[in-house]
Amino acid sequence: MKLNLSADAVLTTTRSVRKRLDFDRPVERAVVVECLDIAMQAPTGSNSQGWHWIVVEDSAKKKALADIYKANFSIYANSPRAVYEDGDTRAERAGKVTESATFLAENFHRAPLLLIPAISGRLDNASVMQGASAWGSLLPAVWSFMLAARERGLGSAWTTIHLMNDGENEAAEVLGIPYAEVTQGGLFPIAYTIGTDFKPAKRQPLGPTLHWDQW
């Protein structure tokens, strides 16, 4: 199934979906492969194509990854939060974001599929240039995956909390990822969405972030 959205519609309505993930509807392998084939058309530094995609269907492994995420989320949820001025759209949405993030942490294991995108090489001690180059070779492809998923009625949420503390290494052990050779880029639930009527999000105005010729 395709929604036949315009490019602008896909770009402005692809959300991090949490509470509207349909945990009871299976996701076919074929549609995920189709999305990943599209994702791999994204730019990649020096044409390295060093990405890896670990899709998790096994219930026990999903539960193990969800437990890693949940343990780290309990720490993250109690850490200091950014403070915004009255009228700031980020302050207006903070409560709902926290509520939906908590919902996902409690239900991560219920997603039909989980995805960990990864890039060849370790980035622990990478320079700014090395890090930017490596992430620039992975994250555009991940975003392309999410856009392709949106067009097919699928939703996901970009999360990185499982990478906190020793979580990345723990996830590598669960999935047999060669930790010393590969860096994980996040943990993504994959599910069909409950409804497809997503809208553009409230964002801060462009003006304060736009710079011409100088800061």
pLDDT of residue 92: 64
pLDDT of residue 81: 72
Amino acid occupying residue 44: T
pLDDT of residue 94: 65
pLDDT of residue 129: 93
Q: How many CB atoms lie within 10 A of CB 195?
A: 10
Tell me how far apart the alpha carbons of residues 55 and 177 are, in angstroms, rounded to a whole number: 12
Tell me how far apart the alpha carbons of residues 56 and 110 are, in angstroms, rounded to a whole number: 12
- Give 63's contacts (C-beta < 8 A, 6+ positions apart): 109
Closest CA to 142 of 100, 190, 108: 190
Amino acid occupying residue 143: W
Q: Is the distance from CB of 112 to CB of 44 less than 8 angstroms?
A: no
* Residue ranges in the chain whose pLDDT is less than 70: 91-95
pLDDT of residue 95: 66
Question: What digits encode the pLDDT tens for the residues 161-193?
Answer: 999 999 999 999 999 999 999 999 999 999 999
pLDDT of residue 96: 75
pLDDT of residue 67: 98
Amino acid occupying residue 161: I
Class of domain 7-78+92-200: alpha beta
Burial 101-139 (b: 16+ CB within 10 A, else e): beebbebbbbbbbbbbbbbbbeeeeeeeeeeebbbebbb
